[in-house]
Structure 1
Amino acid sequence: MTHMMVDSDNMAANVMIDFLGGLAPINREIRKLGCTGTFLERKLMDTDALAAGKDNMTSVDDLGGALIAIYNGKLISSDADKQMLKIMAQNKNHEKLPAKVTNATEVYNKTGEFAQFGVENDAAIFVGKRHTFVVAVMSQNGHSQEQIQAESDLGEQLATLMLPTA
């Protein structure tokens, strides 16, 4: 789990898919959690399944809602959600939304990228001294450096507005 989240390791994610019983039980749990725009049709990096039209989908609504629920201890359980935050706090990739944020006391984020399709995603919880906010950004068919720059600029702008220092 830690490698999947902290290192964004797709092989570790595929091991977790197998450990949890495959795509069907995971999709059932996703539905139970109320995520209507999220589903898995293939393992990660399975380009043959992708070429056959099978894809994995999520939405900023589902990502944002899940992060809010995790932060509030209401997604799975208070203990499980705290463990998820602890893992997310270790994420090694802070080049997108958190890159220019200097006024957050804590950052929990998870990135996703698929260079072949110009995908650069990030979803984050930013905690300040008085306020907390969640943001999810998904982009595709772009140029990675431009997308990363735009996401880091957005993170900085939102933190300036949402996490005042005074």
Structure 2
Amino acid sequence: MNQVKVNGNFNYDISINNKEIIVGNEAIDIDQIKVNDYVTHLLHNNKSYTVEVIALNKEEKEATVKVNNNIYQVAVKDQYDQLLKQLGLENLTSNKVSQIKAPMPGLVLNVLVQAGEEVKKGDSLLVLEAMKMENMIKSPTDGVIKKIEVKQGDKVEKNELLISFS
């Protein structure tokens, strides 16, 4: 059984057995037609729904989906995630990131953060120009900036240390 959380508020227990979808303890009758890899058309209780996957993060088991032009954030916890949580081991899979290195050689156009600043996963940290394209370097984790190793105008090589986290 999977635990599905929608928009951070609504929780559902969902399982699929032999193409039968069970929500809570109730079997749900759904007809579906897959339009493409990201869009599915559903029919449930004589109502039509178009479901489109806008963003998918398989590693975090999260997705942003649009259902009839309404956007929802969906997070799924499978039986293994639930077992790890019961055992108190749910944080074993998270990697502690302590450094960000240059993914390619380039020129530092702009540093957007300062040492001591708290950042969230996905926050923009700096702009790196490589091959005449601007690349936004984003934080791979929540954390506090310990030290910024580069400044605006610096040329960097691939794998050169850019930012350290504390």
Q: Provide TM-score, normalisation by structure 2.
A: 0.22
Q: Counting helix residues as a fraction of each chain, which structure ranks higher?
A: 1
Greater relative contact order (CA < 8 Å, ≥ 6 in sequence): 1
TM-score between both structures, scaled by the size of structure 1: 0.22
Greater strand proportion: 2
Structure exhibiting the larger radius of gyration computed from Cα positions: 2
